[in-house]
Chain A
Amino acid sequence: DGGITQSPKYLFRKEGQNVTLSCEQNLNHDAMYWYRQDPGQGLRLIYYSQIVNDFQKGDIAEGYSVSREKKESFPLTVTSAQKNPTAFYLCASSLGRFQPQHFGDGTRLSIL
């Protein structure tokens, strides 16, 4: 079955710590995305990548970093510079920029 796998499902971060969220897809999609969802809010775009070795900042990129070394993988690092990281993080992929996006089941990040 093709899909997107996010891990871990739950993650806790200590003060001053960087944490990395994993996102893997086997849909052969070129484009991948990271979103942040806060309670009662829509999705806000953190970073997106339309092709391997290339990515662009979204609306709220400060305090986050990404890499796209393989087509299947798009990990997100939440750095210590992100002062309010508690949120639900969603990874998605699509065939192209205007196409429907397929989502993973998210990682919930909390502060210890």
Chain B
Amino acid sequence: SQQGEEDPQALSIQEGENATMNCSYKTSINNLQWYRQNSGRGLVHLILIRSNEREKHSGRLRVTLDTSKKSSSLLITASRAADTASYFCATVATGANSKLTFGKGITLSVRP
């Protein structure tokens, strides 16, 4: 079952603009992770935010987490053509047998 649902499904922006991607989930989580996938390649881990954290930064990436709304957002500032990729949120639910569960992803296109 896929817990994370990303929004929008596709996003096209101009280089230099900011890109905001959203993820909603259904059950309580231990942590939420964002990954990037370039076409035909494996996923690359971007950032992990724990359930007791509200915001994390890594370079041009900013992730927020609102556990009351069961949602997260990924902001990429000053986007570059090289940011063109699919972005996935993935959640680890609370519970002994929980696994990392991925959403369907957001396709980001950054126009030069």
- B103:A42 contact, CB within 8 angstroms: yes
Give the shortest distance, in Å, between B111 (CB) and chain A (any CB): 21
- Give the size of the chain A interface in residues (CB under 8 angstroms): 23
A42 touching B99 in the complex, CB below 8 Å, given contacts A98-B31, A102-B45, A106-B41: no
Cβ contacts under 8 Å, B42 to chain A: 4, 6, 90, 92, 103-106
Indicate if A100 sits at the interface (CB-CB under 8 A).
yes
Indicate if A43 sits at the interface (CB-CB under 8 A).
yes
Contact with A along B92-112 (1 / 0, CB 8 A): 100000111111110000000
Indicate if B33 sits at the interface (CB-CB under 8 A).
yes
A48 touching B99 in the complex, CB below 8 Å, given contacts A42-B104, A98-B92: yes
- B41:A43 contact, CB within 8 angstroms: no
- B30:A43 contact, CB within 8 angstroms: no
Q: Which of B4, B33, B102 gathers the greatest number of chain A CB atoms within 10 Å?
A: B102
Q: Which A66-112 residues have a C-beta within 8 angstroms of B?
A: 90, 92, 97-98, 100-106
Rounded to whole angstroms, the CA-CA distance of A58 and B33 in the bound complex is 19
- B88:A42 contact, CB within 8 angstroms: yes
Give the shortest distance, in Å, between B80 (CB) and chain A (any CB): 22
Contact with B along A15-27 (1 / 0, CB 8 A): 0000000000000
Give the shortest distance, in Å, between A3 (CB) and chain B (any CB): 10
Indicate if A59 sits at the interface (CB-CB under 8 A).
yes
Cβ contacts under 8 Å, A33 to chain B: 100
- A100:B103 contact, CB within 8 angstroms: no
Contact with B along A35-52 (1 / 0, CB 8 A): 100001111010010000
Cβ contacts under 8 Å, B48 to chain A: 100
Which residue numbers of A lie inside 8 Å of B, CB to CB? 4, 6, 33, 35, 40-43, 45, 48, 58-59, 90, 92, 97-98, 100-106
Which residue numbers of B lie inside 8 Å of A, CB to CB? 1-2, 4, 30-31, 33, 40-45, 48, 88, 92, 98-105
Instruction: Enumerate 29 A-B pairs (CB-CB under 8 Å) in ascending A order.
Output: A6-B42, A35-B102, A40-B104, A41-B104, A42-B2, A42-B4, A42-B88, A42-B102, A42-B104, A42-B105, A43-B43, A45-B99, A45-B101, A58-B99, A90-B42, A92-B42, A92-B43, A97-B92, A97-B98, A98-B30, A98-B31, A98-B92, A100-B48, A101-B43, A101-B45, A103-B42, A105-B42, A106-B40, A106-B41
